[in-house]
Amino acid sequence: MGCFSVTTVLHNRNGLSREKFTELFCKEMQEKGYVTTDKENSDFFRAVAFTDKWITLISDCPNIAKRLNMECIRVEEVDSDFVTFDVYSETGEKIESIIMGMPYWDDNEKMGYFDPTEKVWGGFLENGCSWEKFMEAFYNNSVDEIIEMTGMNNKHIFLPEKYIEEEWEFFKDDNIFFLYFKK
């Protein structure tokens, strides 16, 4: 059995600082009945990997995009065989989904997954990356190239939440931090 991870990657189009994002995220969690705390007193945590363009939540929570009014991409790696990218608008609506790799689903389960559209993905592309180059990478199932062209961080996207806290020292990435909560 291969890897499995699910992350929610928020598009930081407004250039939030790490501190401002943390403040907004914790405020949203407070409205849901959770308070911030330290590691020893927490019920659960959220691992966050922060860069200027993308804020990766090492968990499956695309609903936070709506609450923070941010677009996001939910990235799911399944057994190292395929990756799905589900794009959500800032209103929380799923607007597009694509699959890269070889899913082992039947055709009915593949319904709703389409080729990427420039309207959706064009706004994520880094300066200098053409739509044609993006589509070439898509048709070649090059997940790494797609991630690079959008400016996401490959190391952040495929971090398994189950082990992130224990292995954090191994990553030696100052962009990864933890937020602790309790009810």
The 10s digit of each residue's pLDDT in 42-54 is: 998 888 999 999 9
Alpha-carbon distance of 145 to 155, in angstroms, equals 13
pLDDT digits (tens, 9 = 90+) for 95-104: 999 988 876 6
**Has residue 133 got a pLDDT over 90?**
yes
| Nearest residue to 162 (alpha-carbon basis) of 63, 84, 60 | 60
Alpha-carbon distance of 134 to 125, in angstroms, equals 8
| Nearest residue to 151 (alpha-carbon basis) of 132, 176, 134 | 134
Give the mean pLDDT of 66-88: 87
**Has residue 1 got a pLDDT over 50?**
no
Mean per-residue pLDDT of the chain: 86
| Nearest residue to 70 (alpha-carbon basis) of 131, 24, 138 | 24
C-alpha dihedral, 146 to 149 to 151 to 152, nearest 10°: 0
Q: How much of the chain, in percent, has pLDDT values that exceed 90?
A: 50
Q: Is 143 helix (H, G, I), strand (E, B) or coil?
A: helix
Q: Is 67 helix (H, G, I), strand (E, B) or coil?
A: helix
Domain span at 35: 4-182
Q: What is the pTM of this model?
A: 0.84
pLDDT of residue 174: 82
pLDDT interval class at 65 (50, 70, 90) = confident
Domain count, the chain: 1
